Structure 1
Amino acid sequence: MSERWARTVLAAYRFAGAAAFPLVGPYVAWRATKGKEDPTRRYERSGYAGKPRPEGPLIWAHAASVGETIAIVPLIESILGYGVNVVLTTGTVTSAQVAEERLGDSIIHQFVPLDLKPAIGRFLNHWQPDLAIIAESEIWPMTIMELGYRRIPQVLVNGRLSERSFQSWKKRANIAEALFENLSHVVAQSEVDAERFEALGARPVTVSGNLKVDTNPPPVDGRALHAISRQLSLRPTWAAVSTHEGEERMAAEIHLMLRSRHPGLLTIIVPRHPERAAALADEFAAMGLRSVTRSSGDRIRSDTDILLGDTIGEMGLYLRLTEIAFVGRSLTAEGGQNPLEPAMLETAVLAGRNVQNFREAYQRLIDGGAAKLVANRDMLAGAVNFLLLNDATRRKMMAAGAATVEDMRGALGKTLKALEPFIHPLVVKARLKGVR
């Protein structure tokens, strides 16, 4: 595909988006009925602003979902410390809640506009950002092109390209180059990610490591932790967190396999999508298991088999209730989920082998003796059983997790160094204007 043809395709995408814009309202309304949009803020997805633009320099930061939002919180806090305003966009209701919990009124939060010319144009006309910082792997053609057209510097931080995404972009190399040439800088998570971005035409590219390592451990409500810990007493526990369809049933089957060997065993299951909790509770009941959902507030009794974590923002609670955690989307689904939060909370980490999206983090944890990968349900059951029986091995993995995470820190400083040429002029401008 020639460069001219690639630009023709992108121009067609631009006009197709404009033609489809009248359908945005019904589409977002439908998503709101499914709980995927905040019905009171649907207009933000069309680019309408929910708040006035503050005076002075403004940075637009974007994080797609919960993981990306948590990852860039320390980066945003550092930028705020320079005296520059930040408007943070996210794409999900849960990530908006995390932004509110972690950053509060220190930033302006908006839902990200859909990648359509009218929506993006309206958003940029109002906010007029001086710099755009995009987290991880959010590659939206219209957004990138519009920022480039307006000569607004855009930097991709904590950049990651999965093998699947890379191969897909390689088939459209000219389109990738036409888009990535608009990026002022790519700060990649790993050398592999950096090589992939460079192969697709991004320049310059540097490596920072994973920003998720430089975050604080997930917070916890101390009173809730104390209350539930008292209910559990000294019962043995293990957790399956960030699970996807099929992995919850697998965890329940493992509970059935192990409870006779470990009297009083409690299994903690935290699905990636909490809205599935009601259906999961019914499924567990059909298996003869007694479950309690966290949102119900019901007491965990001695005959409770499963604590079903169906709340947002309480991963810190669930992980502090156990010393063994299986991290999902790794056995029945592909890509994996972030293992760093369990590791930094000194939890022995188990996962399936499909962890491509967090390959470097898992490799470091495995090499450090903090994590083990399993091939199937029976191997996972065996690993949980072994760790429950062997205190010394379990505690060695727990300590290794915290130590490995500490060794991996430093991505925040490297990212700030890469951003310095873009942020420093804004800091000077803000001081000269006397804003904030």
Structure 2
Amino acid sequence: MDWTSLYRILTELGAPIIRGILRRRLARGREDPLRFSERKGKPGLPRPAGPLLWLHAVSIGEAQSVLTLIRSIRALYPNLGMIMTTGTVSSARIMADRLPAEVIHQYAPIDRLPWVRNFLVHWRPDAALWIESDLWPNILIECRHAGMPMMMLNARVSERSARLWRLLPGALRPVLEGFQLCLAQDEAQGDRLKSLGAARVKVVGNVKYAADPLPFDPAELAGLKAAIGDRPIWLAASTHQGEEEIVAQVHQALLRDLPRLMTIIVPRHPSRADSIAEALDRQNLAVARRSRGEVPTTETAIYLADTIGELGLFYRLCRIVFVGGSLIPRGGQNMLEPARLDSALLHGPNCWNFAMIARALDACGGALEVRDAGELSARLKVLLQDESESAKMADAASALAREEAKVLGRLLTELEPLLRPLAQATPSQPEA
């Protein structure tokens, strides 16, 4: 018996455990109570008539990265229906605001055969695009058995994941064989995918380069600028546990030369805001919290932006940005988002999730790596006191982002053999 057959059996025998996990997630607010049935593959909406393209992205970053691509596909193939699935409550909220009106959003079914089959029987996708690497065996094997054409976009496998999979030679092959083409982010990702069993791999570049600038509310931006005035500010974006303490140390160190400094923290997970605020308070730092409607004053040391979906606002507010998840071993966060909004960038050494992007930004002078609180303080001191230096870095980062946005054209060229026949197909009937 191969491991995929064993997996399929275990996901059936483990149904009570899976249900228990889902109940706990629901109780903790990590599942949507109003749309919980979608996680069991039960549809929340009727299937539209005509050919239907399914896109799957695990969470906010992956989903946002393909919004520009989705709009381009809609423009080129207007009669092609589209459904996007994601797996998190936060991503569903963001997609409700940002997906084109014609594109359906559903929660992805949990990877149990009955729930996967519920989803596929109702929606009957004609083809699927998988974003990055959220590889669920039951879903992908059922799609392959149904003869559904599938491609993986922005395909990636971290070196750590690749090492683990190599302990079971050929184990990932049955899952990867379902993709007729894997469009890898870079050569390293492409090589890993080939070594793990992907039949056809092509490197076209990172779809995140083609994403639109993050949205913002102009009135909110104007209000924050008025409240802050001419105080020097910097942003610690998408921070993870352990990094806020480092940011606080850096703020304290910089006060010696910049006594009016204000630091803005946007945590990756706003649910941690209470513990972050308590830790900052223990360091005698005056904190204002955005989720409570508090506005920074002259007394505010740290502005804690503990909301979802407002990074576009804060990237426009701050010219100097430290991108989190990188001073601790989490793999970093997306540096392209602030790069395309004219930010000078700083990041830690742990950027393996965005390694190619980090190297490109470092090489062009748009970003700098810092290893600890001391180096972050030193770099920030220079950038905060030398506007010409921060402007030079921001311009370099923005120029790189604009040049790499040409990846969109390459992606659409690779997708044409899949999408054009679908768009020209005889319309099927909607789900009754």
TM > 0.5 between the two?
Answer: yes
In structure 1, the partner of 2:56 is: 62
In structure 2, the partner of 1:109 is: 105
Letter in 2 for 1:74: T
**TM-score, reference length from structure 2:** 0.96
Which structure 1 residue ranges, 5 or more long, are not aligned?
none
Q: Which piece of structure 1 moves more, 192-201 or 335-344?
A: 192-201
Which structure 2 residue ranges, 5 or more long, are not aligned?
none
- CA deviation map 1:252-287 (0-9, x unaligned): 111111123112111000110001111111111111
Cα distance in 2, alignment partners of residues 184 and 98 from structure 1: 30
Cα distance in 1, alignment partners of residues 160 and 21 from structure 2: 28
Are 1:417 and 2:395 matched, yes or no? no
Cα distance in 1, alignment partners of residues 270 and 93 from structure 2: 14
In structure 1, the partner of 2:28 is: 34
* 1:15 counterpart SS class: helix
Are 1:344 and 2:340 matched, yes or no? yes
Cα distance in 2, alignment partners of residues 395 and 145 from structure 1: 50
Cα distance in 2, alignment partners of residues 163 and 272 from structure 1: 23
Are 1:43 and 2:37 matched, yes or no? yes
Q: Would you say the 8 A contact 2:51–2:428 is kept in 1? A: no
Cα distance in 2, alignment partners of residues 173 and 423 from structure 1: 33
1:397 is aligned, of 393, 399, 422, to 393
Cα distance in 2, alignment partners of residues 104 and 153 from structure 1: 24
1:190 is aligned, of 164, 170, 186, to 186
Cα distance in 2, alignment partners of residues 186 and 196 from structure 1: 11
Q: Would you say the 8 A contact 2:49–2:429 is kept in 1? A: no
Cα distance in 1, alignment partners of residues 14 and 167 from structure 2: 26
Are 1:15 and 2:15 matched, yes or no? no
In structure 1, the partner of 2:209 is: 213
Cα distance in 1, alignment partners of residues 134 and 99 from structure 2: 21
2:235 is aligned, of 232, 235, 239, to 239
Q: Which piece of structure 1 moves more, 346-355 or 166-175?
A: 166-175
Deviation at 1:320, TM superposition (A): 1.4
1:74 is aligned, of 68, 92, 95, to 68
**CA RMSD after TM alignment:** 1.5
Q: Would you say the 8 A contact 1:177–1:202 is kept in 2? A: yes
Deviation at 1:433, TM superposition (A): 7.1
Deviation at 1:22, TM superposition (A): 4.2
Cα distance in 2, alignment partners of residues 317 and 212 from structure 1: 19
Letter in 2 for 1:222: P
Q: Percent same amino acid at aligned positions?
A: 38
1:356 is aligned, of 346, 352, 357, to 352
- CA deviation map 1:336-365 (0-9, x unaligned): 111001111111100100101111101110
Deviation at 1:139, TM superposition (A): 1.3
In structure 1, the partner of 2:198 is: 202
Letter in 1 for 2:364: G
Give the number of aligned pairs. 428
Q: Would you say the 8 A contact 1:239–1:326 is kept in 2? A: yes
Cα distance in 1, alignment partners of residues 344 and 158 from structure 2: 26
- CA deviation map 1:218-269 (0-9, x unaligned): 1110000000100000110011101100101111111111123112111000
Structure 1 segment 32-431 matched on structure 2, within 5 A: 32-81=26-75, 82=77, 83-429=79-425
Cα distance in 2, alignment partners of residues 410 and 196 from structure 1: 24
Aligned pair in 2 of structure 1 residues 23, 51: CA closer, same or farther (>3 Å)? Answer: farther
Q: Which piece of structure 1 moves more, 221-230 or 168-177?
A: 168-177
- CA deviation map 1:354-396 (0-9, x unaligned): 1011111011101110000011111111111111122221111
Letter in 2 for 1:145: I
Q: Which piece of structure 1 moves more, 167-176 or 232-241?
A: 167-176
Q: Which piece of structure 1 moves more, 222-231 or 111-120?
A: 111-120
Deviation at 1:104, TM superposition (A): 4.9
**TM-score, reference length from structure 1:** 0.95
Cα distance in 2, alignment partners of residues 162 and 394 from structure 1: 32
